[in-house]
Amino acid sequence: MTDPRLADLARRLPDLRLLTDAGDLEHYGRDWTRRWTPAPLAIALPASVEEVQGIVHWANEQKVAIVPSGGRTGLSGGAVAAHGELVLSLERMNRVVGFDAVDRTLTVQPGIVLETVHEAARGHGLIYPVDFAARGSCSIGGTIATNAGGIRVIRYGNTREWIAGLKVVAGNGELLDLNRGLIKNSSGYDLRQLMIGSEGTLGIVVEATLRLTDPPPASQVMLLALPNMDALMRVFALFRARLSLQAFEFFTDVALKHVLAHGAQRAIEGDHPYYVVTEFEAADERAQEAALAAFEQGVEQGAISDGVIAQSDAQAAALWRLREGITESLAPHKPYKNDVSVRIGALPAFLHDMQSLLGREYPHIDVVWFGHIGDGNLHINVLKPESLSDADFIAQCEHVTKLLADTLQRHGGSISAEHGIGLVKRAYLESTRSAAEIALMRGVRQVFDPNGILNPGKLFV
């Protein structure tokens, strides 16, 4: 270990695992964006809160930046270490700390994988309802840092609705115990909520107390084929009025083409421009009849072209794979990703403006879009043609993203719905936040991290 700064860290924390091999630096120094060449100083893997605090104190003294790291499944460059930062990976802090049956909370360390949290909650007859396709690899700490949403937001809301308390190491090394699991707490600013979605720029989550809830009633999954874009909102309104929706996810025929090529099975014959996977409560015969009636009404109105309802858990999983398998199926194509949101009421007008913009600016490039109609969140994936260099492709996409940000600003939307700002979207923050808001955000960051060591370069230009 030739770097004297690392030698000093090793002396201070003799039990701390430090990795410096080239393969480890590359693996831990990037996230799913793959746009920056990883170049961290080293990888630190603490096993305790005290080690995290020790690392932060050392970083302040040595003036070394820290990039907090979870599952690194992010899509905005928030976990990238490309300028000699120390990556602080929390993957060894991955235990369930405790369960409280009365408060119905599960306390966990930040490196625990979301799927493991789901299993732990089920073991107590409850659920942690935040869920999305990366559940097998993303960490709880990362989902808190980005206020992750996912496929159940229409029923359960985002991550912040389910965080009862946080323990956080601030940028000065101080350990903060925020909210302590209280349901009611009107004793000033809720710093817990400030940490959620802060992308590791204010503090490092070292423990989280999660609220759990009852499992939902029995549900059914339906796949719908729609004739045009306008039908999306009509069918959503129809189903929301008649059913208790748990999810309402849509994707295009282009997305279906890629996920089928990746191994999923076609469920509806013929070619249709838009599809919806919806899940709804179907605990009794009345609810099932209401679903059938909603489907028939949609067909009569010309808003639904075809559909299929799952008859088993296996069929439900196969229908969900058509939606959840999209991101994985697109990965080999090096997609440039936009993750945007508008109010549900603003969706129809925004969708038309967005489709016009993308069609005009990407006339010969595949654009795959899908999303969560029930919460106004759209995911746009632009697939790189082989004929374009990486640099030219990124430059073209950034030009279009600027136009998309302007469009979002007109419709009162956000350039980041659930993936954070990171490196990718920091140039477009002003389309979502006013100058006054950004100034206050910078001031907050200065208070929690006075030396600017936590994830510098992320969020703000």
Note the pLDDT tens digit of each residue in 202-227. 999 999 999 999 999 999 999 999 99
The residue from 211, 233, 257 where one domain ends is 211
pLDDT at 1: 58
Alpha-carbon torsion angle 10, 15, 16, 21, nearest 10? 80
**CATH code of residue 25:** 3.30.43.10
In a shared domain, residues 105 and 192: yes
In a shared domain, residues 52 and 129: no
Domain assignment present for residue 440? The answer is no
What percentage of the chain carries pLDDT values higher than 70?
100
- d(CA 334, CA 385) in angstroms, rounded, equals 9
Is residue 272 a contact partner of residue 207, using CB atoms and an 8 Å limit? no
Note the pLDDT tens digit of each residue in 9-50. 999 999 999 999 999 999 999 988 888 999 999 999 999 999
Domain assignment present for residue 51? The answer is yes
Domain assignment present for residue 167? The answer is yes
Q: What is the mean pLDDT of residues 149-172?
A: 94
Domain assignment present for residue 12? The answer is yes
Domain assignment present for residue 446? The answer is no
Global pTM value: 0.91
pLDDT at 260: 97
- The model's confidence at residue 321, banded by pLDDT at 50, 70 and 90, is very high
**Strands, E, within 104-257: which ranges?**
105-108, 163-170, 175-178, 203-211, 219-226, 245-252
In a shared domain, residues 41 and 28: yes
DSSP code at position 199? T
* Residue 102 predicted with pLDDT over 70: yes
pLDDT at 208: 98
* Residue 110 predicted with pLDDT over 90: yes
Cα–chain center distance at 30: 16
Domain assignment present for residue 448? The answer is no
Q: Which residue segment(s) compose the domain that 194 sits in? A: 96-211
Note the pLDDT tens digit of each residue in 129-157. 999 888 999 999 999 999 988 888 889 99
**CATH code of residue 254:** 3.30.70.2190
In a shared domain, residues 154 and 86: no
Domain assignment present for residue 455? The answer is no
Note the pLDDT tens digit of each residue in 417-431. 888 999 989 999 999
pLDDT at 133: 81
Domain assignment present for residue 253? The answer is yes
In a shared domain, residues 103 and 88: no
In a shared domain, residues 102 and 197: yes
The residue from 92, 126, 145 where one domain ends is 92
Q: What's the domain count of the chain?
A: 4
Q: What is the mean pLDDT of residues 276-301?
A: 94
